Amino acid sequence: MTAESLQHRSHRWLGRVVEDTATGRKGILRAVAPDIDTPRTVAWLAPVGGGREWTTAPGALANPAPLTPDT
């Protein structure tokens, strides 16, 4: 299954640590895709170091970590 078949969207900050301004949390942007339960598009974030993912509005993303050779 490809990202396109899952309706994932590209985003220039994928794989980078970003701030979720809706919650004040920071996490790694894993995907931007339709929500499982609603037709809206959400950003999927994972806590740095592991843990439970959460979703937020793509417009709530801010302050991406600088690009490094690992990102």
Asked if the structure places residue 42 within a domain, the reply is yes
Q: Are the C-beta atoms of 33 and 9 separated by less than 8 Å?
A: yes
Asked if the structure places residue 58 within a domain, the reply is yes
* CB hemisphere CA count around 62 (13 angstroms): 8
Nearest to 18 by CA among 43, 49, 52: 43
* pLDDT tens by residue, the chain, 71 residues: 444 446 777 889 999 999 999 999 999 999 999 887 888 999 999 999 999 999 999 999 999 998 777 65
Asked if the structure places residue 19 within a domain, the reply is yes
Asked if the structure places residue 67 within a domain, the reply is no
Asked if the structure places residue 70 within a domain, the reply is no
Asked whether the whole model's pTM tops 0.85, one would answer no
Range of the domain at 32: 4-62
CA separation, residue 71 to residues 38, 40, 57, 58 (Å): 30, 27, 22, 19
Instruction: Give the pLDDT score at 6.
Output: 61
Asked if the structure places residue 68 within a domain, the reply is no
Asked if the structure places residue 44 within a domain, the reply is yes
Instruction: Give the pLDDT score at 8.
Output: 74
Asked if the structure places residue 71 within a domain, the reply is no
Instruction: Give the pLDDT score at 67.
Output: 79
Instruction: Give the pLDDT score at 37.
Output: 82
Q: Are the C-beta atoms of 62 and 11 separated by less than 8 Å?
A: no
Instruction: State how many domains the chain has.
Output: 1
